[in-house]
Copies of this chain bind each other. A is one copy, B any other.
């Protein structure tokens, strides 16, 4: 099983601990193609790459993956773009978000997305594992 993990980078890194946990869980089920996204140091890792290089690499990973898992508590153009692109490719899409956040209608009102709201790290862990097992 190959995963593409999407989370805000330039938009804010408030959820980095959640992202690290999601990656740990996904790695129990398969390979995370873009695991650098959960790295607290991601901006440094990407600083020498051009926009076009990042775009082409990420689109290729989206095509290669089986499932997209996105953390959508933090607004992000890239994550929104990747979700619609994955939908076009017919990928399974799981979006997780902090239950205290008012998410975008384009995510919350989209029937092709499996949504998981979480109260805390334990709640997320339990719900994500349940979803991946089903």
Contact = CB atoms under 8 A, between A and B. Distances in A.
A49 to B, nearest CB: 8
A26 interface: no
Interface stretch (A30-38, A97-105, A117-125): A97-105
Contacts of A75: 8, 10-12, 74-77
Interface string A69-89: 000101111111111110010
A104 B52 contact: no
Nearest to A52: B109
Determine which residue in A8, A51, A83, A110 has the highest number of CB atoms from chain B within 10 A of its CB, and name it.
A51
Nearest to A72: B77
Contacts of A108: 51, 55
